[in-house]
Amino acid sequence: MNATIKLYDEDAYRNSFEAEVLSCVPSARHAGAFDLVLDRTLFFPEEGGQTSDTGFLEAAETAEGDATGPAAVTDVAIDAAGVIVHTAARRFEQHTAVRGTIDWAHRYDNMRQHTGEHIFSGLVFRRFGLRNVGFRLASDVTTMDYSGILTAEQAAELETEANARIAADLPVDCRYPSPDELATLSYRSKIEITGPVRIVTIPDTDCCACCAPHVRRTGEVGLLKIIRQEKNKGGTRLTILCGSRALADYRQRQACTEAVSASLSVPCSGIAAAVERLKQDNAQLRFQLSEARTELMDNAVRAVPEEKRDVCLFTGALPEPVLRAAVNSLKAAHPGVCAVFSLLDDASSGCPRWHYILGTAQGDSRIPNRILAEKLHAHGGGSAEMVQGSAEAEEAEIRAVFDLDLAGTSARKEDL
Ligand SMILES: [Zn+2]
């Protein structure tokens, strides 16, 4: 089969076309769908790191009584011979004349992102000699991998320069030079290309082999913003947003910073410092709270009547060593089962979660622990002297189980 005529090469701004169905077979990649080959297409296939165009196909002339309507095109691929395969929702007869319409918003957004990437990668190459070794234009972000390290300052400089090139509204030229002319050109290319090479040129900025649709002038990119920078395989990975994606991101970040600013009653410029102060205050308060709870725990341990055999105490969150010390003090004074339940987090929905430590001076702690597992689905384990675990239950429920089932079990010794 001949290579499909790429209408998007001739005019990236067209969004509908007419073509003839050369073949239509059940899709090998998408169950229930059909793979269509047309003689020509505006649908850009998934290629070179960019997702394919989507849209729909319909019969160019609807026959009387034909109610099949348009079929969604959800995926477009190109094979090594240049044959473009459209995945459509329904079958079309061979030799049917069809009309195709691409999702223009999706296509134009991709064009803006892609031209933005060329501007940036061209400048990276010119300024620092780094090659673009990876490119992915996804539906939300564009990522670019470079062959060496860029510092945050260098990336910021490049971002400024790229936006200056966008503002200069430079022409973007896409064409297939003759082999002779191509031999004289110096251009970036990620792969060795066989057959005609399409060159995309932006004056004083970039010259690169590329098969994708681009905007006519750099001004259409609108804005280029780096939103992430990370190290990647000895090089640098940058994530960028162009055009309306950058605007949407700005809006979201603005809403976020304004919400935090209003909540903390500080200007937007001061929110990072204010959050840092809050974190420090919070750590200080947590420390003080823990100190106070420890004191309360000590008092509660001392306040237990001497004659009491079994003891069960409850507390807010406390570190394990404090709980362990409290259980040891209780064990020294009371011969029965001694337990401390410490609240892990007071979830507003669902049951309170507890961390517990339980010990007994005379018997085997694993016996009451087993009862906790049976009655409260607690998870825990340990030695005869002391066990620890977690349980989800209301305080009253735990008290009832302790009084009815656990108290008195310390005297029992059995083979577990
Ligand atoms: Zn490209």
Sequence-distant (6+) residues with CB within 8 A of 100 are 16, 17, 18, 19, 38, 41, 42, 43, 55, 56, 57, 73
Residue among 178, 123, 179, 133 nearest 154 (CA): 123
DSSP secondary structure of 316-347: SS--HHHHHHHHHHHHHH-SSEEEEEEEEE--
Per-residue pLDDT of the chain (416 residues; tens, 9 = 90+): 889 999 999 999 999 999 999 999 999 889 999 999 999 999 999 988 899 999 999 998 876 666 678 999 999 999 989 999 999 999 999 999 999 999 999 999 999 999 999 999 999 999 999 999 999 999 999 999 999 999 999 999 999 999 999 999 999 999 999 999 999 999 998 777 677 899 999 999 999 999 999 999 999 999 999 999 999 999 999 999 999 999 999 999 999 999 999 999 999 999 999 999 999 999 999 999 989 989 999 999 999 999 999 999 999 999 899 999 999 999 999 999 999 999 987 656 678 999 999 999 988 999 999 999 999 999 999 999 999 999 999 999 999 999 888 877 765 555 44
What domains lie within the chain, and their CATH numbers? 5-102 (2.40.30.130), 108-260 (3.30.980.10), 285-411 (3.10.310.40)
Burial of 38 (0-12, 13-18, 19+ CB in 10 A): buried
- Starting at the earlier edge strand, list the strands of the sheet with 337-345: 311-315, 337-345, 353-360, 386-392, 379-382
Paired strand residues for 392:
353
Distance 176 CA to ligand 1 centre (A): 14
Query: What distance in Å separates the CA atoms of residue 131 and residue 236, rounded to the nearest whole number?
Result: 11
Structure tokens at 394: 């209301």
- Distance (Å) from CA 329 to ligand 1 centroid: 73
Task: Give the distance (Å) from ligand 1 centre to CA of residue 200.
Answer: 8
The Å distance, Cα 114 to ligand 1 centre, comes to: 6
Cα-trace Rg, the chain: 35
SS3 302: helix
Cα 182 to middle of ligand 1, angstroms: 17
